[in-house]
Amino acid sequence: MVLVNYIVMCLIFGTTFLAIKVGVDAGAPPFFSAGIRFFLAGLILFAFMVWKKQARVSLLLRKEMLLTGLCLTFGTFATLYWAEQHISSGIAAVLSATAPLLVMLLQTRLSRQKLSAISWAGCLAGLAGVTLLLLPGLTFSFSVLWIAGCIAVLVGQLFYSAGAVYSRRVSQQFKDVSPITLNAAQMMYGGVLLLVISAFTEQVHTEFLFSSQAVFSLLYLIFVGSMMGHSIFYWLVAKTNPLFPSTWLYISPLIALTLGAVLYQEPLHLSSLAGGLAIIAGIVMINLNALKQLVSKKAPLEHAESPTK
């Protein structure tokens, strides 16, 4: 079940970048559309769980929901949306792929465990794979804003890493609460914070809501990207560890490249193929212990130890 959900999550997140691009190109203000996306997705999920009597409104008063939303949703997406105005999507993807490394470092620091050599090698192989994958399309245009954009993406990944590790603790603290409910609550908070920053930085014109591309993008991101994708991510964090689900950042460029080649006959380069193989090898190395347990059936993957042990 864990591997199936991981594959589904990667497929979903691998298509959300295209959906975001469609919406922005149709005139949707980045912060506003992201805020609406996450707030509505969280509200719908949370209302459904309350209706099913599997959630209490009082959960929204807990500071843990605010802190998780601040890191996983607001900090990650506010910086990424702003940065992509000044850097290419390829550079953003490569910088975003530093997150699994940051997650591993933070998780190890907090647990005071030694990093295994195979996990280090896996993270570095995955990062190298993403770079090779996107190398033919990478463009550099050095300027103050370009440097600021790169720094913004890295800051966003620090937020993401902290949120991924912290959400693991939150899921353990609220064991009786469904990961879907926890995810819904943090998305609501993250969405509100994005709408606040939109109110101070953007001029929102509702004309974009009459564009079929913008509406499709928003609906897809709400129901598929956020309600499904982020709920699966939160579930995987609760069932495994913060590092394993974070490796979707290695997979998503590979999915995007494959979709481009299949649907739009975009060319495939040897470096991209080599990058794809490096990504797969990296993920296998990062999760080698868990995969061994899965193959030997000695223990279910849900209870596998962290790959940094």
203: helix, strand or coil: coil
Structure tokens belonging to residue 148: 């600021």
Question: In this predicted model, what pLDDT tens digit does every residue of 85-129 receive, in sequence order?
Answer: 777 666 677 778 778 878 877 877 776 766 677 777 887 887 887
Q: CA 260 to CA 28: how far, in whole Å?
A: 23
Q: pLDDT class for 38, splitting at 50, 70, 90?
A: very high
**Separation between Cα atoms, residue 273 and residue 227, nearest integer Å:** 32
Record the tokens describing residue 113, joined without a space.
Answer: 């465990």
Mean residue pLDDT across the chain: 81
Residue 308 lies in a domain: no
Q: Which helix (H) or strand (E) holds 131?
A: helix 117-134
309: in domain: no
- What is the average per-residue pLDDT within 144-156? 86
Q: How many CA atoms lie within 13 A of 158 on its CB side?
A: 7
- 299 has pLDDT over 60: no
pLDDT at 304: 42
Instruction: Report d(CA 226, CA 206) in Å as an integer.
Output: 22
Instruction: Indicate the number of domains in the chain.
Output: 1
- Domain annotation covers residue 266: yes
Q: Quick check: 225 pLDDT over 50?
A: yes
Q: Residue 74: which domain range? A: 2-303
Distance CA 70, CA 167 (A): 11
What type of residue is 43? L
The pLDDT value recorded for residue 290 is 57
In a domain, 82, yes or no: yes
Kindly report, residue by residue over 231-255, the tens digit of the pLDDT: 999 899 888 878 788 888 778 777 7
pLDDT in tens, 155-213: 999 999 999 989 989 988 998 899 999 999 999 999 999 999 999 988 887 777 778 88
| 131-164 b/e (C-beta count within 10 Å ≥ 16 → b) | bbbbeebeeeeeeeebeebbebbbbbbbbbbbbb
Cβ of 228: how many Cβ atoms within 10 Å? Answer: 16
- Do 221 and 170 touch, CB atoms closer than 8 A? no
| Mean pLDDT on 5-31 | 82
